[in-house]
Amino acid sequence: MANDAPVISCSNVWKVFGNNPEAYLRSMPEGRSFDDIRADGFIAGVRDVSLEVHKGEMLVIMGLSGSGKSTLVRCFSRLHEITAGTITVDGTDIGSLPERDLIELRRSKMGMVFQSFGLLPHRTVLENVAFPLEMRGQDRHTRRDRAMEVVKLVGLEGREDYFPRELSGGQQQRVGIARSLAIEPDIWFLDEPFSALDPLIRREMQDEFLRLQGMLGKTIVFITHDFDEALRLADRIAIMKDGAVEQIDTPDQIVLNPATEYVRRFTEDIDKARVVHARVLAEAGTTAEGEAIDGSASVHDLAKLLITDPREAFPVVENGQALGAMQKSQALEVLLGQR
């Protein structure tokens, strides 16, 4: 889970595609919409985005195809040069870095996993995983030892001498994850890494990913268009539309308090009882009698208690800390889909 230190800070960032977009932005009237900008002959891949990603946080960026989520993440690593605004990584303005320093930043701090596995077909699993270390110039013995460590970490021990064609889709994805972990990145960018997998393997990879995050505590920006996947993985979710961030918040708050009509429609089919947790419904400073409930329990988890327990309010605690009391009426509204 995150602490208060921002690892990535993104302030008023624009990425506009077209002829001389910098000059266009300087002269563009305020309030131009995505469609207005397109009518002017430009595409606003990212529109005035400001957000922070904190140390140890998993921020999931989601939206429909063309919403700008992949463009934004490529801006974070300066794979795209931004048109306006600033992006800092650990306090350094990456837009000001010379090419050599930018390459070193990517090599030393950033791991990237994309939808296409991008494995080298003529190299074994171990050789694929060791490849970025080879590019760093590490000696053969050191890079093989490190590659073997992460091969074991992702559960591929015994297959280190296989070639990609001899692996399943899920196993190939694990090789891609292991390769990105080999450099021990502080920041991990994942662009729809599981979308090409069938549902069962995708679920298994999500489980594996959560296990790895629990062990490693990386700062992660994860792109998906699957809301169920986002709810399962995210500390916070940023929902994008037409290059802009419509809302960024915890999963609970996004489904309970959508900031825009677009977000409301985006989340309307979600079973809120499985997303909303007791900690969110607890009212600070209030008390209740009887046995406390865990703040990490979802309303769905508490359904039987809500129906059978005569109390009108329940004390809520998490990690030994009292959070307040949860009113039964509010929890039932969530359970019955009335909120």
* Same domain as 194, residue 313: no
* Same domain as 221, residue 192: yes
Q: How many CB atoms lie within 10 A of CB 317?
A: 16
Split into its structural domains, the chain has a count of: 2
Based on DSSP, count helices (H) and strands (E) in the chain, helices before strands: 15, 14
- The closest alpha carbon to 226, from 117, 112, 64, belongs to 64
The pairing of strands 236-241 and 219-224 is unpaired
Last residue within a domain, chosen from 228, 255, 271: 271
* Same domain as 192, residue 47: yes
Binned average pLDDT, 10 residues per bin, the chain of 339 residues: 76 97 94 94 97 96 93 95 96 95 90 78 94 87 92 90 91 87 88 80 83 88 91 94 97 95 91 94 94 96 95 96 96 88
* Same domain as 260, residue 197: yes
* Same domain as 112, residue 246: yes
- The closest alpha carbon to 264, from 275, 272, 256, belongs to 256
Which residue range forms the structural domain that includes residue 283?
Answer: 273-335
Instruction: Looking at the chain, list the stretches that DSSP marks H as alpha helix, in order from N- to C-terminal side.
Output: 21-27, 34-39, 69-76, 99-109, 125-136, 140-153, 169-181, 199-216, 227-233, 251-256, 261-267, 272-275, 278-281, 303-308, 328-335
pLDDT of residue 117: 66
DSSP 272-307: HHHH-BHHHHEETT----SS-EETT-BTTTTHHHHH
Residue 144 included in any domain: yes
**Is residue 310 within a helix (H) or strand (E), and if so which, with residue range?**
none
* Same domain as 253, residue 110: yes
* Same domain as 239, residue 289: no
pLDDT of residue 2: 47
* Cross-strand partners of 88: 9, 93
- The closest alpha carbon to 73, from 238, 209, 203, 194, belongs to 238
* Same domain as 299, residue 177: no
* Same domain as 205, residue 164: yes
pLDDT of residue 254: 95
